[in-house]
Structure 1
Amino acid sequence: MRPSVFITRKLPEEMVAPLREKFEVRMWDSDISAVRRSVLMDEIAQVDALWTVVSDRIDRELLETAGPLKVITNMGVGFNNIDINAAKDKGIIVTNTPDVLTETTADLAFALLLATARRLNRAERELRHGGWMSWTPMGFTGMDVGGKTLGIIGMGRIGEAVMRRASGFNMRVLYHNRSRKDQVEQKYGCEYVELEQLLERADHVVVLAPLTEQTAGMIGQRELGLMKKTATLISMSRGGIIDEDALYEALINETIWGAGLDVWEKEPVSKHHPLLTLPSVTALPHIGSATIETRKAMMRMNADAILDVLEGREPDNRVV
């Protein structure tokens, strides 16, 4: 029998075709709704390869039921949705899709920063709903971005890409990272600071750190209280790094100017989430890498990883 593959979302057939030529491929029938847990548990007990997305929870309980599974390829840079230790214990290879989405995600991070600082969501909503009555001196005013200080938390590939965009806006860049990057500082002229200093000094803060035990909840009530009242906070990496309850309180109390969120502690986020009621929040549904070109490039990387492992080659972008 041919090796088998299960894909947890419906993907364009052109991206799946290379796998169908060599393997038995089954695919969840929706590109919107998540695969049911019972279906995933049944499939993982049978297949040789599993193609997941970042919202699929692949935990130890699930992995303990794995049969001939050799590889899990995750559509995204992050892989905190997969129990890496459990996969390692089972001898299962895990891969992700780094690099290819760096520039696209950096584009959105800067777009979200601009939209939040200038409160474009509020202005558009008022226009669409007939709230624009006349030009007024202080109507729809926001905060400047050009010439301001940008603080980047997490100086990986995407952090560097955001910093390059900031240079076009004549921004001074501060960064905080788990390790200092001398070469980056020399190349771009950015300044390494401790987290508290970054929050105190930055006019705009972009969170790009991975979600780990160390970063979970790292931006809470105390940290938000250190920020300027005119500052914006942009979240682009993973939900859970920012305490959403504390952020809500900071925004309604005008401790900070605004927040732009592309990622959430629990996804998909409920339409009743308190943060969605605030005009100072620009909210997006985790679309950092959402361009046609980038998503297809990610899919090609996923398909290549499956082909490599099932044909006995070492895959690129191996996590474990």
Structure 2
Amino acid sequence: MKRLLITRPLPDAVLAAVDAGFDVDVRRETLPLTPSEMTDALGKYDAILPTLGDPLSDEVIREASDTKCKILANFGVGYNHINVAAAREAGMLVTNTPGAVTDATADIAMTLMLMTCRRAGEGERSVRAGTWEGWHPTQLLGMHVTGKTIGIVGMGRIGKAIAKRAGLGFDMDVVFFNRSKVSDFGVPARQLETLAEVCSTADVIVLAVPATPETRHLVNADLLAKMQPHSVLVNIARGDVIDEAALIAALQAGRIAGAGLDVYEREPIVPDALKALENVTLFPHLGTAALEVRIDMGLMAVANLNAWIASETPPNSLG
């Protein structure tokens, strides 16, 4: 039988769908494998179902001199923790789970936008702390999002889902930046020529790009300076898309009004300076945190594994 390692606990419905041809080990730890554990696993298992944070860098893969693993069926659409080129060179196929995460991640983007613009986090903390003195006309005045302009950076599946929610649900004008031309977004939208133009135009900017070497620190001090003082930045992509130190400086100086973050540059480490800011909404990477979504993601990852063991082409192979 082919040996399969599932690196974190998954819903029972996902485990039940695994092909009977696999001898399955499921780690019970919720933290990622260490590099040495991953190197060891690459030599012991025919297939691995990894997920966010599991270390599959070039160094880890090269360290596994006797690689037995032939497929990495990633649980998640993002795979910046996997050096795909190194995996291929070592004879491993890499797959992911696109589509399953789209709506849930777009919903979290809208939640972060609303909470930050309407200062909901500040209000909730005030109620819990017992410092709320009652309603008054100038209490926690935030930004009314209806009719404002949203700028979406990355008009892929998730970007389009955000555009649909913002345009149809909140009557927002939609502008966006995408490296390639996009013509079908489902709602009225304008593709702007530069990222700087999006930042200077929009009241709310949402990052929905993949994490690649090219997108690391895509939002830096220069780009933050292009944003309007009342604007809000939302990140549901990956943490290192933003230069976190530059964002903290911009927020502390009042150069932008706020930020809504679901991801962090050195996740799960969240800088104390960010936690101290009232104008920031901080989520613990909730993008796909719904049972139905995690089941769908798992079933998609398992479908890739089941196709592989049946000598078929997995439906979501990368490259």
User: Where in structure 1 are there 5+ consecutive unaligned residues?
Assistant: none
Q: Find 2:46's aligned residue among 40, 45, 48.
A: 48
Whole-Å Cα distance in 2 between the matches of residues 253 and 62 of structure 1? 41
Asked whether the equivalents of residues 152 and 205 of structure 2 are also in contact (C-alpha less than 8 Å), the reply is yes
Whole-Å Cα distance in 2 between the matches of residues 310 and 101 of structure 1? 25
Match of 1:308 in 2: 307
What are the within-5 Å matches in structure 2 for residues 173-188 of structure 1?
A: 173-184=174-185, 187-188=186-187
What are the within-5 Å matches in structure 2 for residues 84-233 of structure 1?
A: 84-167=84-167, 168-184=169-185, 187-193=186-192, 194-233=194-233
Q: CA deviation at 1:10?
A: 1.8
Which SS does the other structure have where 1:199 is aligned? helix
Q: CA deviation at 1:70?
A: 1.1
What are the within-5 Å matches in structure 2 for residues 68-87 of structure 1?
A: 68-87=68-87
Number of equivalences: 315
Which SS does the other structure have where 2:184 is aligned? helix
Q: Which amino acid aligns with 2:56?
A: I
How much identity, in percent, do the aligned residues show? 36
Q: Which amino acid aligns with 1:52?
A: P
Q: CA deviation at 1:40?
A: 2.1
Which SS does the other structure have where 1:240 is aligned? helix
Match of 1:262 in 2: 262
Match of 2:244 in 1: 244
Q: Which amino acid aligns with 1:254?
A: G
Match of 1:36 in 2: 34
Asked whether the equivalents of residues 5 and 45 of structure 2 are also in contact (C-alpha less than 8 Å), the reply is yes
Asked whether the equivalents of residues 263 and 285 of structure 1 are also in contact (C-alpha less than 8 Å), the reply is yes
Q: CA deviation at 1:46?
A: 1.2
Q: Is residue 2:8 matched to residue 1:9?
A: yes
Q: CA deviation at 1:20?
A: 6.7
Shifted more, 71-80 versus 32-41: the winner is 32-41
Q: Find 2:60's aligned residue among 59, 62, 71.
A: 62
Alignment deviations for residues 216-259 of structure 1 (CA, whole Å, 9 cap, x no partner): 11111111111111100000111111111011011111000000
Which SS does the other structure have where 2:74 is aligned? strand
Asked whether the equivalents of residues 262 and 286 of structure 1 are also in contact (C-alpha less than 8 Å), the reply is yes
Q: CA deviation at 1:38?
A: 2.7
Alignment deviations for residues 29-88 of structure 1 (CA, whole Å, 9 cap, x no partner): 22x322233322212101110100121120122223152211001111111110011011
TM-score (norm 2): 0.95
User: Where in structure 2 are there 5+ consecutive unaligned residues?
Assistant: none
Q: Which amino acid aligns with 1:34?
A: P
Alignment deviations for residues 272-311 of structure 1 (CA, whole Å, 9 cap, x no partner): 5321111111001111111110000000111111111122
Asked whether the equivalents of residues 8 and 27 of structure 1 are also in contact (C-alpha less than 8 Å), the reply is yes
Q: Which amino acid aligns with 1:50?
A: I
Q: Which amino acid aligns with 1:152?
A: I
Q: Is residue 2:285 matched to residue 1:291?
A: no
Asked whether the equivalents of residues 11 and 294 of structure 2 are also in contact (C-alpha less than 8 Å), the reply is no
Whole-Å Cα distance in 2 between the matches of residues 100 and 19 of structure 1? 18
Q: CA deviation at 1:14?
A: 3.4
